[in-house]
Each structure stands twice: as structure tokens, then as C-alpha cells.
Amino acid sequence: MQWTAVLLLVCLIFALPLSASGEELPLLDVSEVQDRFVSNPRNVKDIGDPFVLSLADGYHVYATGGPIGFFTWQSGDMKTFERKKALQKLDWASGDYWAPEVFPWKDGYVMLYTARERKSGSLRTGIAFADSPEGPFTDPLGHPLMDLGYATIDATLTTDAEGSPILIFVRDCSENIVQGRGESHIYGVKLSDDLLSIQGEPVLLLTPQGDWEIRSGDTRWNEGPAVVRYMDRWYLFYSVNGYWMKEYSVSVASADSPLGSYTRQDTNPLLRYVEKDGNVIVSGPGHNAFFTSGEELFTSYHTHTYPQAPSGNRQLCIDRAGFHRDGTAFIAGPTLAPQLRPLHELHCRNAMPLAFCSEDPQGFLGDGDPGYAPSSLAYRWKGRSLKAEWDQPVSSDLIVICPGSSPLSGTLTLNGTWTCSVEFTPEGIPGESLILPFREMEITSMALDLDTPGEIGEIYVVVPES
């Protein structure tokens, strides 16, 4: 959504009649908080398979970049980027430098990546090390990390319960024929402590299954693995279908160990294409990876630059992610409308999880999930009125209400005194929200009374970090 559209929406809210029982909430122009928001896609284009490393000095983006090695894009706010070369061409590789991922390791950084081996002509997994996240990364082996006799791509790194390194990778469909079909399968294997050799035989973790994962026909994919450990369980996110298809998308499975066995989540896919008025407006969101900013979890992924003509021309997108109380994973996307920047980056936090709200016993309004994705529909708050109360006053100047695709109208009241009429009419732009800036005040209570029952995924009451 363009900022002009947001401004018109907020101006409409301001023009509505106020409740006669309270004083007018001192709302501000939305342009006053414009710098706190950012929209997809980000300004890193003609790439694929983006990976973000979040450090104290900002963000470092790595991505598939073609035949000449890898670049890193550095940013302090995910709006502007500076590009630098991170890995030069290697003697053992002829090209196809794909899917780099960089992790802090001991006193430096390790990069896992894909490249085509010059000798065999096959895709292989490589490894390189550097003292800093921008490199230069150097290859200590002079050859691929492993040779299993078949093409491997999309390697990522995790650890088991004892902290030992585990490599998760993909056996590529180009050299994996199953019943006459090319299929990409996800495997895992233990690594040595120095990361330079595998230990034992790889374990098969996932193969394409179910109607959604086989829409690519005679060639099928489970690829682009990304692993997050949460509450002593490992969540393996992966992409399905061909990368050039609108149905390229992200699903998840979980297990008690990084080497399985994995069970798919019922709400798959978590990240999928979006249509508006019969046209695809977000195409092929996939090959994601994760990073944190403060206490918030985010995922990077790519989408097709031209959604009406999907191809290898892709662009960086970033959205929030996380887990519900029942352990269900979510991705809050794909979005195109303005989203709050990482709250830690703004030196802020969301006070909603600290409030008591008897009408929201499951905590849907402060669980980090704005409820935009179809897979999150069951985790939206549903009702007509709610009241949140804080034991100690919180100082805020911004409230963001995330209704998903649901229209809302009613009255918002702060401290039982300050009121404003609210009205939200969705325009069909993924990730739309109601943005309410006001003069900073101490808040002890917030009430929302709707004209008719509605749905809300999240409410952000933005306050300074304590």
C-alpha cells in the first residue's frame, strides 16, 4: 500500500464523529510515524534464496547471485543497502553459486553454499570461513564439503540437543530419479566439530507429499530447508514446487530431534501466493531463512519480481514469524502493506502481551501473529468488545490494529476517557493494518467496542524499551 493510501485511511478515521462520552483522542497525522514502518519488497532485487544475518552492527544479506561468487548487502534499517563482494569464484567450481547461508562459528563466521563442481559437472555443497560477516570468505578444502555421488544443494546448519553441528541439505532432483520422476529430498547428517567432514550416513527427512507439494507435475521439490529450534522441538521449514511457479511456497514439519522423524503441520503451506481481483499480486514466496531482532523472529524469502510473469528474477521480502502457545508455527506474510520495523531496532516493544484481557484468554492479540496468512485464521481473536488493562501505566504514542482482511468499525477508548471512532475497510493489499498515532500518554487501559463482531490478529501498543 502506498503511504498516500494509508494517509487517506487515517484521515477518514479522524473525520468520523467521536463518542459523546469521552474526550477526543489527540491523533496525529500518519506521516509522523512513517519512518517506523517498512514495506515489501525490499531494495535487493534480481536475486534468489535470501539469507539474513542479524548482528549488533545491523543486517547482512546473502543471496544467490549467479556465476561469480557471492555478494553481501549490508543495512542498518532494511531500507537502504550497501553491496560488497563476500566470496570470489573458486577454482573447483564452474558456476551456479546458489543459496549462501552464513552463521557465527567460534571466533568467526562460516558460509555454506551450492556451486557446480568443475570436475563432475554436478551441483555440490561448499564451505568457507571468514573473520567478519562481509568476508572475504575463503575455502579451506579446495573441493566440495562432501561427495555423496549425487547432486546436493541448499545446505543449512543447526545443532542437536548436545550442541553438536548438524548439516541439513537437499538431494537435488537433477540426479535423484524416483519412479521416473526427478525429486528433491531433504536429508540431514552429523558434522565434525570443525565442520569440515560429515559423520556417518545421511538420514532422509522429507520427500514431496500431498496435493500442494506435487503441483509441479513430473518434477517435484522439497528444498530450501531452514531449521528453528523452539521449546525443545526442531521445526524444519522447506519450499515446494518449482521456483518459477506461483505455487512455490513454504511449509513446515517438526520433530523431537534435528534428524527426525518429522511430522508436517496441518496448516501448511504457511507462505503462499496472493491474488487480488483474479490477478496474482504476490507470486512464488519461498526459500526462506530466519533471523532475530531483539525478541522478535523474522523470516527472509524471495518473491517473483514480475508476479504476472514468474521467472528467475526475484526480490527480497521480510516478514514476522513465530510460534503460537500450542507450538504451531506461523509466518505473517506475504505482505505488501507497511509493517512495523523490528521493535528492537526502534528501541521499542509491544506492551499488549503484558496486559490483562479477559476477552482474549488464548492471547491471540499479543502472540506476535498479525493473522494475515490463511494458515493463521484459527488464531485470530473473534468478538465484539475487549478491554486490556495494565498493572503499571505504559507510555505509548502508537497503536496498530491488524484485522487481516476483515472490515472493522467501532470506538477505541484509552484510560476510560480518550476516545476515537475507528473504521477499517480492507483494500485487498496483503498485510493491511489500522495505524493510530497520537500524542504520547500514559495508558492504564484500552477498550475496543465494535459495531458488529469482527476478527483481529494482533494489537501493537508500542512503548519504549525499559
User: In the block, which residue shows the cell 561427495?
Assistant: 147
Q: Which of 79, 80, 35, 85 shows the shortest CA–CA distance to 65?
A: 85
Cα gap 301→271, rounded to integer Å: 10
Q: Are residues 199 and 296 in the same domain?
A: yes
Residue 240 lies in a domain: yes
Please provide the DSSP assignment of 129-186 as one string: EESSTT---B-SSSS-S---SS-EEEEEEEE-TT--EEEEEEE-GGG-EETTEEEEEE
Whether residues 27 and 45 share a domain: the answer is: no
pLDDT at res. 18:
36
CATH code, domain carrying 8:
2.60.120.260
Let me know if residue 15 belongs to a domain.
Answer: yes
Mean pLDDT, the chain, as a whole number? 93
For the record, the C-alpha cell of 233 comes out as 522441538
Say whether pLDDT at 13 is over 70: no
Burial class (CB in 10 A: 0-12, 13-18, 19+), 141: middle
Q: Same domain for 235 and 381?
A: no
State which residues form the domain around 443: 3-37+344-464
Res 88 pLDDT > 70: yes
Place of cell 551456479: 96
Tell me the C-alpha distance between 135 and 101, whole Å: 13
**Which residues, in sequence order, are bridge partners of residue 410?**
422, 450
Residues above pLDDT 90, as percent of the chain: 91
pLDDT digits (tens, 9 = 90+) for 126-135: 999 999 999 9
Q: Is the same domain home to 352 and 291?
A: no
Mean pLDDT of 213-232: 96
Q: What is the band of 405 on the pLDDT scale with cuts at 50, 70, 90?
A: confident
Bridge partners of residue 117, in order along the sequence: 93
At 159-196, the pLDDT tens digits run 999 999 999 999 999 999 999 999 999 999 999 999 99
Per-residue pLDDT at 99 = 98
pLDDT number for residue 261:
96
Gap between the Cα atoms of 438 and 32, Å rounded = 9
Residue 211 pLDDT greater than 50, yes or no: yes
Statement: residue 6 has pLDDT above 80:
no
Whether residues 386 and 420 fall in one domain: yes
User: Which one, of 361, 374, 337, 146, lies nearest residue 250 by Cα?
Assistant: 374
- For residue 339, being part of any structural domain is answered with no
Which of 334, 368, 384 is the C-terminal boundary of a domain? 334
Taking 60 as the threshold, does the pLDDT of residue 440 lie above it?
A: yes
| Model pLDDT for residues 247-279, shown as the tens digit of each residue | 999 999 999 999 999 999 999 999 999 999 999
Domain count, the chain: 2
State whether 286 and 376 are in the same domain: no
Q: How confident is the model at residue 78 (pLDDT cuts 50, 70, 90)?
A: confident
Among 319, 415, 420, 422, which residue's Cα sits nearest to residue 376?
319
194 with 264, same domain: the answer is yes
Kindly state whether residues 7 and 150 are assigned to the same domain. no
